[in-house]
Chain A
């Protein structure tokens, strides 16, 4: 049972344009969400997070939006840069716990 889903395995975007990565979840008890970026042969790197009491969090070029009613979150990267090319994982945390439930990832390719 995949509680966190990233339905797009891959995404290609032109440099300078916006990248939008999507994530859906099924458990309404998730109360904290995170995005990680992963390069090949490296560990995931934390990008940005959002608590369920918010609907938006912004950090530089990265913005995460949370739509609780739709059980959907998205990561916007603008402007996209070639160095952003990586696999992006969303993760959700069940209220009162510490376990991250990861999606299967979206491979982003930013074309120069």
Chain B
């Protein structure tokens, strides 16, 4: 899973600021997934993207959260006007195919909102 690169590893934001989390998938992978892990909980699906397309964002909060995976460059998860409840570990995963193939995870970005 070292092939999926996330940055930054740690991000501290004050309430009301914007957080931008980046994810570069493994080479050859065109499917990107974002998951969030709250303290003492499992990982929760947020969004699934392919290049330039959002395929499923059913796990994304309706407001303040957005994601993109442009033709060039990394996938970005953006959280606007962060609140304390956004503090969590955000993991990106990538895979070469859809269902039936294991996804490889990055090391995560730990967001702390103060």
Could you tell me which A residues sit within 8 Å of B by CB distance?
4, 32, 34, 36, 41-46, 49, 51, 89, 93, 95-105
Contacts and interface: CB of A to CB of B under 8 A. Distances in A.
A102 B43 contact: yes
B43 A98 contact: no
Nearest to B9: A41
In the complex, which range does the number of interface residues on chain B fall in?
Answer: 20 to 34
B41 A45 contact: no
Interface of B: 1, 4, 6, 31, 33, 35, 40-45, 48, 55-56, 59, 91, 93, 95, 98-100, 102-108, 110
Given A44-B1, A98-B95, 18 more contacts: A32-B99, A42-B107, A43-B1, A43-B4, A43-B93, A43-B105, A44-B91, A45-B1, A46-B1, A46-B104, A89-B42, A96-B99, A98-B31, A98-B55, A101-B45, A102-B35, A104-B41, A105-B42
